[in-house]
Amino acid sequence: MLDKALLNIVYDYDFTSENEINKIEYRGPERYFRPRGWYRIAIDVLRKYKDTTWLGIDKNAWPVAYHGTASDNARKILCNGLLAGGSQGIQQLNGEVHGKGIYLSPYSTYSGNERYARPLTMDGKRYQVIFQVRVESSEIIKTTNRLVWVCRNPSAIRPYGILYREINEQ
């Protein structure tokens, strides 16, 4: 489904066996919450961006966030990056509760909700897709509950992984 020239399998990762729940990590100034239960297909960002400090784990790194989407959108996001709903022909799906912008979450569990990561059925199995992104710290607008971050500047968000998981009927 995805153009392999845009991916980098060296950085693919299986988060399904992660068990260090109490481990505290940071990416830049924000806490990093690993996407337990997901598989990552790495996007080849090394050819796209000259500087890679945003990908680090030190204080200069950009924080990690997640963006849930319909699986159909994965190819478009991979090619064009994230764009705000209601702009450039992108359909506004979940309203503007927190104002205009691209909605992210520091929690894969939040972005992985079926409301955002709408399932796709393929070969009789259901899958969800979310994007693992880095977002420039100065561009993050945190909502009161801190579950949602809004970014109004699409160039301040860099997708670097496509996360997917199989879901079972509850």
Report in angstroms the alpha-carbon separations of 75 from 3, 7, 57, 132, 158.
Answer: 8, 11, 27, 14, 15
Residues 6+ positions from 102 with CB-CB distance below 8 Å: 67, 82, 83, 84, 150, 151, 152, 154, 157
For residue 19, the model assigns a pLDDT of 74
Confidence of residue 4 (pLDDT cuts 50, 70, 90): confident
For residue 86, the model assigns a pLDDT of 45
User: Which two structure tokens, joined as six digits, stand for 13?
Assistant: 């990762």
Task: Convert the pLDDT of each residue in 129-142 to its tens digit.
Answer: 999 999 999 999 99
For residue 169, the model assigns a pLDDT of 60
- Phi and psi for 155 in degrees, rounded to 5? -75, -10
Report which of 157, 154, 151 is spatially closest to residue 139, judged by C-alpha positions.
Answer: 151
For residue 96, the model assigns a pLDDT of 63
Find the domain containing 53 and state its range: 4-167
pLDDT surpasses 80 at 27: yes
No. of H helices and E strands in the chain?
Answer: 2, 11
Report which of 57, 66, 86, 89 is spatially closest to residue 76, judged by C-alpha positions.
Answer: 89
Confidence of residue 88 (pLDDT cuts 50, 70, 90): very low
For residue 103, the model assigns a pLDDT of 92
User: How many folded domains does the chain comprise?
Assistant: 1
pLDDT average, residue stretch 111-124: 92
Q: What is the CATH number of the domain that holds 16?
A: 3.90.228.10
Confidence of residue 104 (pLDDT cuts 50, 70, 90): very high
